[in-house]
Amino acid sequence: MTNLKQKGKTMKTQPPSAAGSSKAAKIGQNAASDAENKHPIGKIQFVKRAQVFFRQNWVEVDKSDFHFNLKKIKEYLAKDTKIMPVIKANAYGHGGIALAKEAQKAGVACIGVSSLEEGISFREAGIKSPILVLSNVFPLENLQVAVAHSLTPTISNMAGIMALEDLAVRLSKKLNFHLEIDTGMGRIGALPEAAYQILQKIAQTPEITMTGMYTHFAVADTDPVFTQTQLDAFLKVVKFARAALGLKFTAHAANSAALFRNKRTHLDMVRPGISLYGLSPFKYAERFVKLKPVLSWKSRITFLKRVPSGFCVSYGRTFVTNRASVIATIPVGYADGYNRLLSNQGDVLVRGKRCPIAGRVTMDMTMIDVTGVKGVSLGDEVVLIGSQGKEQIKADELAKMQDTINYEITCAISPRVPRIVV
């Protein structure tokens, strides 16, 4: 019979040496307390946390693995090639401010963000490194917001150049920017044929300085031929700006996929994003360099019950037990970013064993079948993404079940799930 006793210990993360544990010993530290709750199942002790949260649902972000990945990427580059870590979208769901601080400690050349809001939040958190906003500023009046917070804007057309010039004149200050060239992504950026006139205007405007020029690859993960076509188109514009106009700037193009698949894309600087977090930008990327996943998503069993054969679990009665079973509940749901598509097909780890999702994932809770887990107890750690014992669940595994990419899996983890840096 499966033991359903409640553990006579505080519900805390064990030290790194303990079996099935993690590096998040700080998450749950014992609070010395004489208070005891006379609960019919057993004693309940209070827990004191370095970061206060009460719901047993959190993400661990391993800063040492982040630095490991950054180091491995740097080793893959030529000595003089600079790195701009892309820490947009809350660092792909990992925790933007915390990892921006780590990137700054590593001495990166620049940090890439997606919006003025992200850049401002980094500045308010004390980030001093140069920050490039990797999207167009609209309306153009918001260029003054970028300047006020020492953020480098991306300019994509003549209107942006003229607006930045006007602002520089009004402020009596020389303003920097990067020019984006659209060589095939079709998102933002000046088309190559339009770029020549823009560059001539830049060369004739001393009030502004183009400190960088970049493009973005559309299929670096799958199509090396089109990627080379994009690179050739970009390098033609770069050559014109340097040779014909005498402009000096940093040229950059490589995202994570291009970084590993085509060293000719490295240029003066690379822009790793997903690879920084130890996630693969394409299938078999580990053949180029082995990285470490930075993120683990964890929970704890907060409710356990034995149920008979023929028992229905969750909405829609889509899961019916075919034997006497033990069902555990964890406080994780689709409002946390654990997708409803994982209903009846995803797994989690409990005591180093894979346990299937039982029934539909609900908004705030998910049920799992732990019948085969010997000694399962209230408070047991549950791993949704990460390792436990000899087992591992990767973001790629969840992505495949949802017919999406690993980027979306981590980006979708809700802000209400605390990020704990370990």
- Report residue 88: phi and psi, to 5°: -85, 170
Q: What is the Cα–Cα distance from 150 to 213, expressed in whole angstroms?
A: 18
Q: What is the Cα–Cα distance from 163 to 280, expressed in whole angstroms?
A: 39
Q: Do residues 330 and 417 lie in contact, with contact meaning Cβ atoms separated by under 8 Å?
A: no
Catalytic residue among 88, 101, 298, 353: 88
Asked about 315 being catalytic, the answer comes back as yes
Instruction: Please give the single-letter amino acid code of residue 274.
Output: I
For residue 123, how many C-alpha atoms fall within 13 Å in the half-sphere facing its CB?
19
82: closest CA among 103, 61, 113, 102? 103
Alpha helices in 125-223 (DSSP H): 143-148, 158-171, 192-203
235: closest CA among 252, 256, 248? 252
SS3 label, residue 280: coil
Both tokens of 229, joined, read 């076509």
- Report residue 276: phi and psi, to 5°: -60, -30
Catalytic residue among 72, 76, 263, 315: 315
| Beta strands 366-369 and 325-330, pairing class | antiparallel
Strand order in the sheet with 250-252: 82-83, 269-270, 250-252, 208-214, 175-180, 151-155, 131-136, 111-113
76: closest CA among 325, 272, 339, 342? 272
Q: What is the Cα–Cα distance from 297 to 274, expressed in whole angstroms?
A: 17
Asked about 390 being catalytic, the answer comes back as no
SS3 label, residue 47: strand
The beta-strand segments (E) located in 63-117 are: 82-83, 111-113
Q: What is the Cα–Cα distance from 332 to 417, expressed in whole angstroms?
A: 9
Q: What is the Cα–Cα distance from 133 to 119, expressed in whole angstroms?
A: 7
Q: What is the Cα–Cα distance from 61 to 315, expressed in whole angstroms?
A: 33
Instruction: Please give the single-letter amino acid code of residue 280.
Output: S
Catalytic residues: 88, 315
